């Protein structure tokens, strides 16, 4: 029986009822419960001294294996190369890339060290699924330690165009490291295409579409497969959460404060990739151009803090505070605040209920691998009176959610027009768009995402040269 080993930078905290966070954690935890297995990664602790030790915790068929990071490792691997170099580059922000060779060495060192920690816990027929940009060299490190198991990788963020990736000095080493996996998963076809473009035009490798839909890649003396696997949500569970919260206190408070005004809703980690400043300006432009909307609509932006110890994140926070203050100063009246900017986290159920209570979901990242909030917003709507999704073309979700009003987040007038159209859209059109998107979300829910990846990982046998049996389900 093959066990599943999930490796991610952070291991999602699991309470009795399952993970509190969204899509990825829920989907991955479900897979682990079915196949049995282990979730390995950083505990979230940063140690100032001593030697980090793995903590093992069993929950039914799932083992959580977590380990702390030393301060220097946290600074170089996580804060430095992962989040100050790779994150901006992969989100097409070459202008924000900060590169320090020592941080890259730290990134490589921590990947090797984490791999060494995992090796003694592995069995011969384990299947390993590694997640995201923090762990690009992980398979290479496992291979160096003699691990022969099948190893897959899923990139949650975009894969950038070659000319942007070249801004990361060790780009070639990173792509070579990716080629040590057996299967690479990207969120969308454009991401997969960008990767293949690098392979062919920068690495001198080859790519070929196979009859099974996977792309076979040969580069750096390795053969592997790659595909696109758009991550989903569980739309019906979110709908149920939203419905259950309809009469809850947060929604009652919102409605009482709005006095019948319409509401535009956004929820994002406070990240410069999410296009918040442009979004605020487009709302301002709506008020500029459509005076009839003044005092008739409020925009609620929930933006919990994230990576607050990085300069670029302090900067976006200051810019956003300035913009919301400026716009509110310009338009607010004694009984109306145009923008409610809330720099705080809310419970998942509260967010779902707030989505349902709002008229427009305003999701306009400058770049986003997928954007689960777009999918959660649609899922949470009242099927009889749904709100409208305004969605950036640069979110991976725009490849699937054609029922949204698709916008370019750099086109402020275009976004203001889309907001105006969304606020006045007749019920029949809202219903048609909602039903179209819900059908898509149900068809590609998070189990489908996970099962497609696991099936393909179970079938690729290019490295071992033999066909390994598909993964079995855990008993009981």
Binding site for ligand GDG (CB under 6 A): 22-24, 156-157, 231, 267, 269, 302, 304, 345-348, 351, 368-373, 376
Phi/psi-derived region of residue 222, left when phi > 0, alpha when psi is between -120 and 50, beta in every other case:
beta
Q: How far is the CB of 416 from ligand GDG (least distance, A)?
A: 23
DSSP 53-93: --EEEEETTEEEEEEEEEHHHIIIIIIIIIIIIIHHHHTT-
* Sign of the CA dihedral with 415 first, then 421, 424, and 430 last: negative
Rank residues 132 and 417 by Cβ distance to ligand GDG and give the closer one: 132
Give the residue numbers annotated as catalytic, written as ranges: 156, 368
DSSP code, position 47:
E
* SS3 (DSSP) at 18: strand
Q: How far is the CB of 90 from ligand GDG (least distance, A)?
A: 9
Give dist(CA 248, CA 50) in Å, integer.
47
Q: How many C-beta neighbours within 10 Å does residue 60 have?
A: 10
Q: How far is the CB of 370 from ligand GDG (least distance, A)?
A: 3
Q: How far is the CB of 237 from ligand GDG (least distance, A)?
A: 12
Q: How far is the CB of 414 from ligand GDG (least distance, A)?
A: 22
Q: How far is the CB of 148 from ligand GDG (least distance, A)?
A: 28
Rank residues 113 and 346 by Cβ distance to ligand GDG and give the closer one: 346
Residue whose C-beta lies closest to ligand GDG: 22
Which phi and psi (to 5°) does residue 91 adopt?
Answer: -100, 25
Which phi and psi (to 5°) does residue 258 adopt?
Answer: -75, -25
Rank residues 29 and 220 by Cβ distance to ligand GDG and give the closer one: 29
Rank residues 355 and 434 by Cβ distance to ligand GDG and give the closer one: 355
Find all residues with CB under 8 Å of 2, minimum gap 6, and list them.
35, 125, 126, 127, 458, 468, 469, 471, 472
For residue 30, give both structure tokens.
């479900």
Rank residues 234 and 434 by Cβ distance to ligand GDG and give the closer one: 234
Rank residues 367 and 430 by Cβ distance to ligand GDG and give the closer one: 367
Q: Element (H or E) spanning 282, and its range?
A: helix 276-289
Contact 131, 8 (CB under 8 A): yes
Q: DSSP 3-state helix, strand, coil percentages of the chain (rounded to 5)?
A: 45, 20, 35
Environment class of 263 (CB within 10 Å of its CB; exposed 0-12, middle 13-18, buried 19+): buried
Give dist(CA 238, CA 307) in Å, integer.
27
Q: Element (H or E) spanning 438, and its range?
A: helix 427-443
- Cα–Cα–Cα angle for 320, 326, 329, rounded to 5 degrees: 135
Rank residues 65 and 370 by Cβ distance to ligand GDG and give the closer one: 370
Q: How far is the CB of 331 from ligand GDG (least distance, A)?
A: 26
Measure CA 170 to chain center. 24
Contact 173, 187 (CB under 8 A): no
Rank residues 14 and 231 by Cβ distance to ligand GDG and give the closer one: 231
Q: How far is the CB of 86 from ligand GDG (least distance, A)?
A: 12
């Amino acid at each position: 029986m093959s066990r599943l080993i999930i490796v991610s930078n952070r291991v999602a905290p699991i309470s009795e009822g399952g993970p509190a966070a969204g899509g990825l954690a829920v989907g991955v935890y479900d897979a682990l419960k079915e196949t049995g297995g282990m979730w390995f990664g950083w505990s979230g602790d940063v140690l100032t001294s001593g030697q980090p030790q793995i903590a093992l915790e069993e929950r039914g068929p799932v083992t959580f294996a977590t380990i702390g990071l030393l301060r220097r490792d946290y600074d170089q691997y996580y804060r430095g190369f992962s989040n100050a170099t790779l994150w901006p580059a992969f989100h097409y922000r070459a202008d924000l890339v900060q590169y320090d060779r020592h941080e890259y060495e730290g990134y490589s060192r921590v990947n090797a060290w984490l791999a060494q920690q995992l090796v003694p816990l592995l069995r011969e027929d384990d299947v390993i699924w590694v997640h995201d940009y923090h762990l690009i060299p992980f398979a290479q490190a496992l291979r160096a330690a003699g691990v022969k198991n099948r190893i897959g990788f899923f990139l949650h963020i975009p894969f950038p165009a070659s000319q942007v990736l070249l801004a990361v000095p060790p780009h070639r080493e990173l792509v070579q490291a990716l080629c040590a996996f057996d299967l690479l998963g990207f969120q969308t076809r454009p991401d997969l295409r960008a990767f293949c473009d690098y392979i062919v035009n920068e690495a001198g490798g080859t790519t070929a579409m196979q009859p099974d839909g996977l792309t076979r890649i040969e580069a750096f003396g390795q053969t592997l497969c790659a595909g696109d696997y758009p991550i989903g949500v569980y739309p019906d569970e979110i709908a149920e959460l939203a419905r259950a919260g309809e009469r809850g206190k947060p929604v009652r408070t919102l409605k009482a404060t709005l006095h019948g005004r319409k509401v535009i809703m956004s929820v994002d980690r406070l990240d410069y990739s999410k296009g918040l400043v442009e979004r605020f300006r487009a709302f301002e432009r709506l008020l500029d151009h459509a005076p009839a909307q003044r005092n008739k609509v409020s925009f609620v932006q929930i933006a919990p803090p994230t990576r607050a110890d990085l300069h670029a994140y302090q900067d976006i926070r200051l810019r956003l505070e300035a913009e919301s203050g400026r716009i509110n100063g310009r338009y607010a009246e004694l009984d109306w605040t145009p923008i409610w900017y809330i720099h705080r986290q809310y419970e998942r159920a509260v967010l779902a209920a707030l989505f349902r209570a709002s008229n427009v979901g305003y999701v306009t990242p400058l770049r986003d691998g997928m954007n689960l909030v777009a999918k959660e917003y649609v899922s949470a709507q009242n099927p009889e009176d749904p709100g409208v999704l305004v969605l950036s073309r640069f979110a991976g979700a725009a490849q699937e959610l054609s029922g949204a009003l698709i916008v370019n987040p750099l086109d402020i007038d275009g976004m203001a027009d889309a907001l105006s159209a969304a606020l006045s859209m007749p019920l029949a059109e809202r219903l048609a768009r909602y039903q179209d998107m819900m059908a898509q979300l149900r068809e590609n829910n998070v189990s489908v995402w996970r099962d497609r990846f696991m099936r393909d990982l179970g079938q690729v046998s290019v490295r071992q040269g033999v066909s390994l049996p598909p993964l079995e389900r855990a008993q009981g």
